Amino acid sequence: MKILVVQPLHRAALARLESRADVTFEVVTDFSEANLLKHVGSADAITVRDAPLSKDVLSNAPSLRVISRHGVGYDNIPVDYCSERGIPVTVVGPINAVSVAEHTMFLLLAAARVGVELDSAVREGRFSARGEVSSVELRNKTLLLVGFGRIGQEVARRALSFGLHVCAYDPYIAAVPDPDVTLLGDLDDGLRRADIVSLHVPLTPETRRILGARELALLPERAIVINASRGGLLDETALAEAIASGALHGAGLDTFEAEPLPVTSPLIANKRIILSPHSAALTEETLMAMGVKTVENVLDGLDGRLDPELVVNLQAIEGTGNATE
């Protein structure tokens, strides 16, 4: 059985593949469509990080049986097409929740304390900036979490320890496990009361631009916006304009609608916007764990014993017996 590894995995993950005598694998670092078409034809399985897998690429893999995503988002994979072909698409589950939650808090603190402005001032010899730049405290501020899955819950635990009042909006849950978190039934209501809003939802047709110009205008003056989830969830131009005008205090962004972020993006020029290169989950510990789980999922798919909790298109395996009991 051949596994096409699109984008390198942690060495511990590749060691798992090497231990299987019945498996061969090929690591592809050039993930352009033209190059993938050269390598995908004999693949029984694919692992992939954030590289786009087009329908055209997958249609040239007649023996493909499983795609294992190194992460929890899957908007780079044509899931509907995979379902039509009976190809399960898997994710790694909650492995990266702590890492992303910690990075969310990093972005939040850096935005609140205008970290880029102060860092630049010291490097430029402007120590007097300490009296010119306005930071804000987190204590007693209201944080709205849009999405309250595993990552949102990890963020809530950390935010509460900073003295934040935490609210959550998630139409897919009926209750929250933490009595200190208030579940809201209306997003607009949550935005009107939020000093900080942090996004923790997948990118779907329903969530695309969930924070557009209208929604950003509902936020209180000097609010902060955080996105360590998926690019495309917010209107980046509207966000940049709101911060430049002083309507919002700042933002912390790890994901973007176009990646890599174009140098012409209005986000880059404003030091009130903290930027990181889609790296919230990329600690050494999480990279190893995600890589190993990615390999475990792809091998489970080939062995016919997938964990249904990690399959995003269950219809692809229903009736096949490809699931644990």
- Please give the positions annotated as active site: 230, 259, 278
In tens, the pLDDT along 149-166 reads 999 999 999 999 999 999
Residue 303: predicted pLDDT = 97
Do residue 47 and residue 79 come from a single domain?
yes
Mean pLDDT within 278-305: 96
Q: Does the N-terminal peptide bond of residue 202 adopt cis geometry, omega within 30 degrees of 0?
A: no
Q: Please say whether the dihedral angle defined by the alpha carbons of residues 254, 258, 259 and 261, taken in this order, is positive or negative.
A: negative
Asked whether residue 321 is assigned to any structural domain, the reply reads no
Residue 325: predicted pLDDT = 39
Find the domain containing 64 and state its range.
Answer: 2-95+284-316
Do residue 242 and residue 294 come from a single domain?
no
Tokens describing residue 105: 């808090």
Mean pLDDT within 20-39: 97
| pLDDT-above-90 percentage for the chain | 95
Do residue 103 and residue 221 come from a single domain?
yes
Do residue 142 and residue 236 come from a single domain?
yes
Q: Residue 80 class from Cβ within 10 Å (0-12 exposed, 13-18 middle, 19+ buried)?
A: exposed
Which one-letter amino acid corresponds to residue 27?
Answer: V
